[in-house]
Amino acid sequence: MAGTPNLEQSIEILFGRFNRRAANTTLSDRTILANKLNALADTLGKKAVGSFQLTPDSAALFATAAVEMWLRSVHSFLISASVTEASKIWASVSGYYASHYSVRAIAHLLGIFQLYRKKRVARVDFGSNLCNLEKKGGNDREHKFYWKVVEMHPYFSTNPFLQKNKNEDEQSDSGHRNIANYVDHINQFPNFRVLDLEILKLRIRYLSSIELSSVPIPRLEHYPDIENVQLVAYHRILSFRRFLDNILGNKNRLWQVHRTPSWCDGILDFQATEPRFLGVYGETI
């Protein structure tokens, strides 16, 4: 359709609204985006399928939802790194969620949001703010759906860190997480260690210095494959951050406040040794 903005233009439109207001470290009220979309879905009747118009302020909640979700990713990564030796179970689980939250954050930038109570998917065109509501498919669960929509988008389809999340594969992010969550008789309970700030800094410095020759998706047979869980999570965090940096630069008020969280200052510098394989730190990052 003529005049439809591309992805970069859509992001500029979405975040541009925040240049007209003061930046705030508090992103928005809890569940505000889901509540607004659910209320608008109610106007479509019992079937709750169709289209409705979002106000500019409502559409802008996709930007704050994406940034907040990415901050969850950063926070989860810090938790994972800090308990590397203290708890293999929680290093695995929180490391996985660091990956998942980054992927879901990208999906929100694409205008995608799941309404769980209504079992619907919202898709928004930020050029027109038109929101299409459709039924969820039978396999559109949280930990598959958001990964699938990101991997299918042309902008991200060649990024090897952002591929589909399949439980059944031997190399699998969610499959590895499922061992920590659900498998019986893991029997890995080391002597508990009090968390140490310097050990956390050393761990992150170590992970950021590793030069990758391929994407180290954790393997089920190697559980607990903590190092690879944390490596892919960290590079997914960088994928989101570099994606917005490339589009918004240093001029957007909202992103400048949150791109380097004050609560991890001096711990995480968002640097990494670039992977040797091609196509990772190109246009898709």
Dump pLDDT digits (tens) for 45-94.
888 899 999 999 999 999 999 999 999 999 999 999 999 988 989 999 99
Query: Which pLDDT does position 184 carry in this prediction?
Result: 84
| pLDDT for the residue numbered 277 | 60
Strand order in the sheet with 112-115: 50-53, 130-135, 120-125, 112-115
The secondary structure of 23-44 as a DSSP string is --SS---TTHHHHHHHHHHHTT
pLDDT at residue 193 in the model:
75
For residue 124, the model assigns a pLDDT of: 96
C-beta of residue 230 within 8 angstroms of C-beta of residue 85? no
Residues in the chain predicted with pLDDT less than 70, given as ranges, are: 1-4, 21-26, 168, 277-285
pLDDT of residue 148: 93
Give me the helix-helix angle, 56-82 and 7-16, nearest 10°.
Answer: 100
Distance separating alpha carbons of residues 161 and 163, to the nearest angstrom? 6
**Residues 6 or more apart whose Cβ sits within 8 Å of residue 41:** 48, 52, 115, 118, 120, 133
In this prediction, residue 285 carries a pLDDT of 44
Q: Residue 31: left if φ>0, alpha if ψ -120 to 50, beta else—which one? A: left
| Amino acid 284: pLDDT | 45
